[in-house]
């Protein structure tokens, strides 16, 4: 039996330990804000926090999530009011929205670790999150805005 914390709640899982965390979150718990993009840790659509670090949930097996704390976009802030979410709304960042939960989780982890990132640090942290709509400029501006605490 695998136990872990997801968005502050203790949950358990009694299946294949090689199942990816992404499918556990989406199919077993119904946290569908976390998206499936590539399934190969290449796009960032599935980004969640694992013990506070941004990870690709498609590449984390349930066995490796045992005993850890997972936060998804649904758990980032109880009212959807995390500074990153506020900045995203203020600048109307999303286009289709598919990549955005992953972008926000990546940005939130960056700002938690580095509250005032340089442009280079923003580029480095966000470069693995692909946006097919090309919202990169607004994403960068929103990360900068979120760093001010909006
Ligand atoms: S779906 Fe996980 S990185 Fe693309
Ligand atoms: S907003 Fe469409 S993929 Fe990023």
Confidence of residue 150 (pLDDT cuts 50, 70, 90): confident
Dump pLDDT digits (tens) for 42-92: 999 999 999 999 999 999 999 999 999 999 999 999 999 999 999 999 999
Burial of 146 (0-12, 13-18, 19+ CB in 10 A): buried
Dump pLDDT digits (tens) for 1-15: 999 999 999 999 999
Rounded to the nearest 10°, the torsion over CA 51, 116, 118, 95 is 70
CA 56 to chain centre: 8
How far away, in angstroms, is 39 Cα from ligand 1 center?
Answer: 5
Contact 28, 13 (CB under 8 A): yes
Write phi, then psi, for 65 (nearest 5 degrees): -90, -5
Whole-model pTM above 0.85?
yes
Contact 98, 35 (CB under 8 A): yes
Ligand 1 atom index nearest CA of 39: 1
Tell the CATH topology of 83-147. Answer: DNA polymerase; domain 1 (1.10.150)
Q: What is the mean pLDDT of the chain?
A: 97
Report strand pairing: 69-71 vs 2-6: parallel
What homologous superfamily is domain 2-75 in, according to CATH? Beta-grasp domain (3.10.20.30)
Give Cα separations from 67 to 23, 34, 46, 101, 106 (angstroms): 18, 20, 20, 24, 22
How much is the pLDDT for 74? 98
42 Cβ inside 6 Å of ligand 1: yes
Annotated domain spans of the chain: 2-75, 83-147
Residue among 140, 147, 11 nearest 72 (CA): 11
**What's the length of the chain?**
150
How much is the pLDDT for 97? 98
How far away, in angstroms, is 64 Cα from ligand 1 center?
Answer: 17
How far away, in angstroms, is 133 Cα from ligand 2 center?
Answer: 4
């Amino acid at each position: 039996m695998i136990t872990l914390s997801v968005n502050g709640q203790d949950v358990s899982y009694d299946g294949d330990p090689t199942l990816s965390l992404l499918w556990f979150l989406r199919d077993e718990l119904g946290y569908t804000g976390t998206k499936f993009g590539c399934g190969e840790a290449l796009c960032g659509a599935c980004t969640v926090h694992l013990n506070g670090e941004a990870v690709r949930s498609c590449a984390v097996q349930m066995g490796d999530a045992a005993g850890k704390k997972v936060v998804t976009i649904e758990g980032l802030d109880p009212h959807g009011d995390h500074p990153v979410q506020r900045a995203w709304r203020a600048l109307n960042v999303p286009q289709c929205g598919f990549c955005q939960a992953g972008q926000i989780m990546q940005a939130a982890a960056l700002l938690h670790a580095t509250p005032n990132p340089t442009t280079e640090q923003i580029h480095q942290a966000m470069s693995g999150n692909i946006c097919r709509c090309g919202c990169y400029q607004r994403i960068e501006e929103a990360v900068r805005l979120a760093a001010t605490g909006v």
